[in-house]
Amino acid sequence: MKKKLIVPRISIVLFIAAFLPLSASLYAQAPDAAAVIRNSRDRIKADTVMTQSRMVLTAKNGSTSERMLVQYSKDGAKGNRTVVVFQRPASVANTRFLTMENPGRADDRWIFLPSLGKVRRIAASEGSGSFMGTDLSYDDVSSQERNADLDTHRILREEALNGKSCYVIESIPRDSSYQYGKMLQWIDKSNSVNYRIELYDKKGNQVKFFETLELKDVQGRLTPMVTKMTTINAGTSTTITVERIQYDGNIPEKVFTVDYLETGNARG
């Protein structure tokens, strides 16, 4: 059964998505905020996704650094699984990160750091921590797989963004331990693309915003190819450009194991 997966979903995987238009008549009657969110997150219909991406980290003074990474995502009976492998520069090469979706509860997450030579489990309490020094937190990386039932949603208004008619939806986490106090999302009424996400702390201050900057049809799917996360107070940003992507390719099951994180060997 083909289901949603996460591009560069903010799996990093939060940055990969596809095109599945919703019923215009349904929206015209009485749009349900939670349903709009679910359809936006479930737009990808693929068994697997493989991507190669370039990350550009921009500092407050305007200086930049780059990172190359590959990502493998696969859907299964128990949910989506995603592995991110950093290729360069040398300081992060062979760092591997695994996320396993658990319907109804928090994802399981592990990371292999070559400098330590071992796999470390990422606790749920570490969700607000920076993912490999980027503007993405561990929670951000998993955000496109976040169960819509974990938040309460309401449509605030309809407005145009970059010439697209969007629903502006406020989402408030039910669990007070989640790092954000609320999220505002701009979702295209015609194709469910999420063009902008504003992230607020528990005091109501906006701390970050995510943007979809470029879309492209890939294998019949409208896919975000360039996305950007900006941290407001720090004046920093992380831009992810998808350079190669393939849907429904063959990915060995062993890739999605802790053993693969340790060895980088998908055989056997």
- In angstroms, the CA 266 to CA 268 distance is 7
Whether residue 266 lies inside any domain: the answer is: no
Whether residue 174 lies inside any domain: the answer is: yes
- In angstroms, the CA 2 to CA 48 distance is 9
Which among 74, 63, 208 has a CA at the least distance from the CA of 130? 208
pLDDT per position in the chain (268 positions), as tens? 455 554 434 454 444 333 333 333 334 455 799 999 999 988 878 999 999 999 999 999 999 999 999 999 998 776 789 999 999 999 999 999 999 887 767 778 999 999 889 999 988 888 888 888 899 998 888 776 678 888 999 999 999 998 999 999 999 999 888 899 999 999 999 999 999 999 999 999 999 999 999 999 999 999 999 999 999 999 999 999 999 999 999 999 999 999 999 999 887 6
- Domain total for the chain? 1
- In angstroms, the CA 194 to CA 141 distance is 15
Whether residue 176 lies inside any domain: the answer is: yes
User: Which pLDDT value is given to residue 110?
Assistant: 94
Whether residue 251 lies inside any domain: the answer is: yes
* Domain containing residue 243: 24-261
User: Which pLDDT value is given to residue 9?
Assistant: 42
Token pair listed for 56: 């550009």
- In angstroms, the CA 46 to CA 212 distance is 20
Whether residue 199 lies inside any domain: the answer is: yes
Whether residue 5 lies inside any domain: the answer is: no
- In angstroms, the CA 52 to CA 8 distance is 8
User: Which pLDDT value is given to residue 124?
Assistant: 80
Whether residue 1 lies inside any domain: the answer is: no
Residue pair 39/20 in contact (Cβ under 8 Å)? The answer is yes
Residue pair 180/174 in contact (Cβ under 8 Å)? The answer is no
For residue 137, give the CATH number of its domain. 2.50.20.10
User: Which pLDDT value is given to residue 14?
Assistant: 40
User: Which pLDDT value is given to residue 23?
Assistant: 36
Which among 119, 76, 124 has a CA at the least distance from the CA of 98? 119
User: Which pLDDT value is given to residue 120?
Assistant: 92
pTM here is 0.85
CA 134 to chain centroid, in Å, comes to 13
Whether residue 165 lies inside any domain: the answer is: yes
